[in-house]
Amino acid sequence: MRPSEYGLDPSYDTVWELARAVVATVPEAEREPGTLTREILKAFRDGGLPGYTVAEGGPDPVNLTVMREALMYGCSGLDAMFVLQATGGLLLAAGSDELRSEWLPRLASGEALAAMALTEPGAGSDLKAATTRVRADGGELVLDGLKSFISHAEVADVITVFAREESGYSLVAVPAGTPGLTVTPGPALIAPHDVATVTLDGVRLPATHRIGPPGSAFAQVLAALTVTRASVAGSAVGLAQAALDEAVRHCARREQFGRPLYKHGPVAGLLADSAADVESARLLAYRAAVLARDGAPGALDYASMAKLSASEAACRVVDRCVQAMGRFGLVAGSRIGDLYLLARPLRIYEGASEVLRLGVARALVAGSLGPEHVKAEE
């Protein structure tokens, strides 16, 4: 069903259809989970997807959400490429005139690729534990530290680095090839992301490479998460829908005890519960994206709730679908097997489910009992 059938403007049908069309240009063998390939990069660029990831003031969150739904449905590698470029565009759009003029046109054309370096060996969900540092030295910035599990860092032309600056935290745009910057391969993941370790050893850059005022990184990251978490929800919906469609096709064809699987009560229940999960998650994802687009109060809380709900739903759905397909759901390299592996990381990146639950609970208490109550209890 198209986005307009859920109350969105028909213009969003156009970008949803475009994303589906770009997926169709990727050879089927390249759509499976794995490393970034030339074919995926070519489809990403030639299909015009980069242009939807970059805009003055940031890309449209609804575009990102409905397009990620379509991309993840058919090609997880394209989905990963798309969101990483969008995150880079979101952060760099808040940079200096020099940064914007240098990077935004190149990101929008796909000539340049972006990455974001937040996590460290000792800092994942707890970003305040980050030890990477940036300091001002005359008209320059100097960065030192170690970042780990950084998606697509090996192919990125610019990496936005989160670092401690005096008593606060700042973001700095670091071009590939800058002296002192080293990128080495990280572990292989059960996710369509190639990750790397990023080492910063006395990296020197002009002060204009700091994004926003000193110490403003948390506000910028939270603003970006309002958009990207809603889009993760869209991605999770696309994955869940793909799993459900795969199971429905199998259960309509496969017969046991003289009738199709879907006519057996337990199997019908698996399919029906999955359909309800997918529809509910889609509605919440679209709602969160609209609130993020409109800059509504509470948009981050809705985005967190949507990401939590959709990622958990995707795991439930794909698990039910494997169960409904029986031994055929266990075949390595099968479509449903790939989706099973892809679903699990959704509950971790862009905010682990446990962290999101804490944030949503705090928002509930702040709304019902007042922010003073929350502060007093901390």
Q: Where are the beta strands (DSSP E) in 207-281?
A: 210-211, 255-256, 259-260
Claim to verify: residue 12 and residue 75 sit in the same structural domain: yes
Claim to verify: residue 44 and residue 184 sit in the same structural domain: no
Q: What is the mean pLDDT of residues 321-347?
A: 92
Between 76 and 29, the more confident residue is: 76
Claim to verify: residue 238 and residue 251 sit in the same structural domain: yes
Claim to verify: residue 151 and residue 228 sit in the same structural domain: no
Q: What is the CATH number of the domain that holds 155?
A: 2.40.110.10
Q: For 33, how many CA atoms within 13 A lie in the half-sphere containing its CB?
A: 21
Claim to verify: residue 83 and residue 168 sit in the same structural domain: no
User: What CA–CA distances, in Å, run from 19 to 50, 69, 109, 133, 149?
Assistant: 11, 9, 16, 39, 27
Averaged confidence pLDDT in the chain: 91
Active site residues: 350
Claim to verify: residue 283 and residue 306 sit in the same structural domain: yes
Distance, C-alpha 59 to centroid of its chain: 14
Q: For 200, how many CA atoms within 13 A lie in the half-sphere containing its CB?
A: 30
Claim to verify: residue 226 and residue 368 sit in the same structural domain: yes
Q: Provide the pairing of β-strand 114-117 with 158-165.
A: parallel
Claim to verify: residue 58 and residue 130 sit in the same structural domain: no
Measure the CA angle with vertex 240, ends 363 and 342; round to 5°. 90
Distance CA 306, CA 303 (A): 5
Claim to verify: residue 259 and residue 364 sit in the same structural domain: yes
Q: How many domains does the chain have?
A: 3
pLDDT value of residue 185: 92
Cβ–Cβ under 8 Å, residues 162 and 192: no
Q: Which domain holds residue 312?
A: 218-377
Q: What is the CATH number of the domain that holds 62?
A: 1.10.540.10
End-of-domain residue from the set 45, 77, 109:
109
pLDDT value of residue 372: 46
Q: For 320, how many CA atoms within 13 A lie in the half-sphere containing its CB?
A: 27
Q: What is the CATH number of the domain that holds 328?
A: 1.20.140.10
End-of-domain residue from the set 42, 75, 109:
109
pLDDT value of residue 303: 95
Claim to verify: residue 148 and residue 271 sit in the same structural domain: no
Claim to verify: residue 75 and residue 120 sit in the same structural domain: no
DSSP 340-364: HHHHGGGGTTTS-HHHHHHHHHHHH
pLDDT digits (tens, 9 = 90+) for 36-86: 788 899 999 999 999 999 887 788 999 999 999 999 999 999 999 999 999
Claim to verify: residue 86 and residue 119 sit in the same structural domain: no
